[in-house]
Structure 1
Amino acid sequence: MNLNYELLVFDWDGTLFDSTACIVKSIQLAAREFGLPEVPVERARHVIGLGLEPALKIAVPELPAERYRELAHAYRRHYFATVHEVTLFEGVPELLQALQARGHRLAVATGKSRRGLDEALEQVGLRGLFEATRTADETASKPHPQMLHELMDELGVPAHRSLMIGDTTHDLQLAANAGTAALAVAFGAHGEGELRALQPLAVLHDVPALAGWLKSHG
C-alpha cells in the first residue's frame, strides 16, 4: 500500500488523552501550595506539551529558580492523584487500530515523563500499538527536534514520510524544526488561531475529522 506518511507520531496529552483540564488543575493546585497567585487557565494551557520544569517556569514565573524542582514534585502528586479519572478522546482506540491495520507505523512524542506516559499507556491499554515513544525526561523537550529525529532514526523512516500530529504550537514547531509535516487538532490545549498561525496541513476539530483526514491524505 502506498502511504503518504509511513510514520505517524502523536502527541499524547490533548491529542489522544483528554487530560488538559487535569494538567491545568494540577498546575494551579501546586502553585497554591506555595502561596503563589492563581495561575490563569490560559497560561497553564499554553505550557502543556513542554517538559515539566520548563513548563512550570513559564506557568509560575514568580517562584525562585531553585524551587522549581519542589514545585514539580507537588504537580506530580496532584496529577497522579486524579489522572486515573482521565480517558482517551472518544474514538481514539478505533482510529489507532485502523491506522495500524492500513500499514502505518505509530509512535508518541510527548512532554510527559517516562513514568507518566508508561502509566497512561497501561491505564488505557494502548501500549502494544506504538512501535516507539519518547518523553521529555529522556531527550530534549519540545520544540527541539531531537524527539522526532530519534523516533525517525529508530524506526528507519525519513522526514518526508513522517507526520507529527498534535494539539499545541509546541508540537507544530517540533515538526518544523525536525523537517516533517504537521497536522493539528483543536480539541486540546491550544486554540485554532494559534495553531493555524503555524500553517499545519490542516486543523481538525474532533477525532472523526482526524480519522477522515488521515484516511484521505495519510
Structure 2
Amino acid sequence: MTRPRRFDLVVFDWDGTLFDSTALITRCIQAACADVGVPVPSDRDASYVIGMGLVEALQHAAPGLARERYPELGNRYRHHYFARQHEVVLFEGTLAMLQSLKARHHWLGVATGKSRRGLDEALSSVQLKGVFDGTRTADETASKPDPRMLVELMREFGVDAERTLMVGDTTHDLQLAANAGAASIGVGYGAHEPAAFESFAPLHVAHSMTDLHDWLAQHA
C-alpha cells in the first residue's frame, strides 16, 4: 500500500540548500565590501545574510555604508558573483531527491533571496527547468523572513499551511515557515549552524543531502 503524503507542497530555499554556493556568496560579499572601501565582514557575518534579499543582505553586511551607495555595493556583488557562478553546482544527490518527490506527486517550489534573473539563470544552467512547479524570488515579492513568498506559493497551488513544508539552511528560512504557519526542515550543511535552528522547532535537521532525501522519502 502506498503511504499517503503528509505534505502536498514542498518548498526549498536555493543557495546552501540545493545549490552548493555558500562559500562563493560569502567571498563575493567580502569582495564587494572591499571594492567600495568598507570593512570586510568575517566569514560568519557574510554567510549569515545568505537567504535574505540582496538589498537587505548588503545592508547587514556593510552597516556603515551610506544608503545612497547600496546600489554600488550591489553592483559589485553581482559583478563578482556572475563572473564565478559557473563554479558552483547542485549538491550531489539533489536531482535524485527532487525526482523522488515528483514521483510521489508533490508540488515542488522554490522560495529564495535570489533575484528572478539570478534564479532563472541558475535553473537554466543546471537544467532544472520544469522540475519546480512554482518559484518566488525576493525582488518580486518580499524578502525573508516575511512570509509572503511562501503564502503566495500556497495560494497558487491551493495548499493549506499544514500541508506545506519549507526546507532551508538558514534561520531566515525557518522563520519564514513559522511566519506562514508551515512546517520546516533545517539543513546543517549550508550557511547557518544547526544549533541556531532549535528555537524554530524544525521537524528534522538534515546533515547531508542523503539524510534529507531519506527523511523526505519516509516522512513527507
**TM-score normalised by structure 2 residue count:** 0.97
Q: Determine the structure 2 residue equivalent to 1:205.
A: 207
The residue identity in structure 1 corresponding to 2:21 is: S
Q: Check the 8 A contact 2:116/2:137 in 1, yes or no.
A: yes
The residue identity in structure 2 corresponding to 1:145 is: P
Shift of 1:110: 0.1
Q: Check the 8 A contact 2:51/2:172 in 1, yes or no.
A: yes
CA–CA distance in structure 2, aligned partners of residues 96 and 8 of structure 1: 10
Pair 1:72 & 2:68 matched: no
Q: Determine the structure 2 residue equivalent to 1:17.
A: 19
After superposition, residues 41-60 of structure 1 pair within 5 angstroms as 41-60=43-62
Shift of 1:196: 2.1
Shift of 1:65: 1.1
The residue identity in structure 1 corresponding to 2:106 is: H
CA–CA distance in structure 2, aligned partners of residues 202 and 196 of structure 1: 10
Shift of 1:66: 1.1
3-state SS of paired residue (2:130): helix
Q: Determine the structure 2 residue equivalent to 1:38.
A: 40
3-state SS of paired residue (1:58): helix
Q: Check the 8 A contact 2:100/2:217 in 1, yes or no.
A: no
CA–CA distance in structure 1, aligned partners of residues 138 and 190 of structure 2: 19
The residue identity in structure 2 corresponding to 1:91 is: G
Pair 1:61 & 2:67 matched: no
Q: Check the 8 A contact 1:8/1:163 in 2, yes or no.
A: yes
Q: Deviations over 1:10-68 (max 9, x none)?
A: 00000000000110011011011111222111001100000001110001112111111
The residue identity in structure 2 corresponding to 1:84 is: H
Pair 1:183 & 2:185 matched: yes
Match of 2:8 among 6, 9, 20: 6
Q: Check the 8 A contact 2:6/2:163 in 1, yes or no.
A: yes
Match of 1:146 among 135, 145, 148: 148
CA–CA distance in structure 1, aligned partners of residues 163 and 39 of structure 2: 45
The residue identity in structure 2 corresponding to 1:68 is: Y
The count of aligned residue pairs is 218
Structure 2 unmatched runs, 5+? none
CA–CA distance in structure 1, aligned partners of residues 155 and 207 of structure 2: 31
CA–CA distance in structure 1, aligned partners of residues 114 and 177 of structure 2: 17
CA–CA distance in structure 1, aligned partners of residues 133 and 99 of structure 2: 13
**TM-score normalised by structure 1 residue count:** 0.98
Percent pairwise identity: 57
Q: Check the 8 A contact 1:196/1:203 in 2, yes or no.
A: no
CA RMSD, aligned part only? 0.8
Structure 1 unmatched runs, 5+? none
The residue identity in structure 2 corresponding to 1:52 is: L
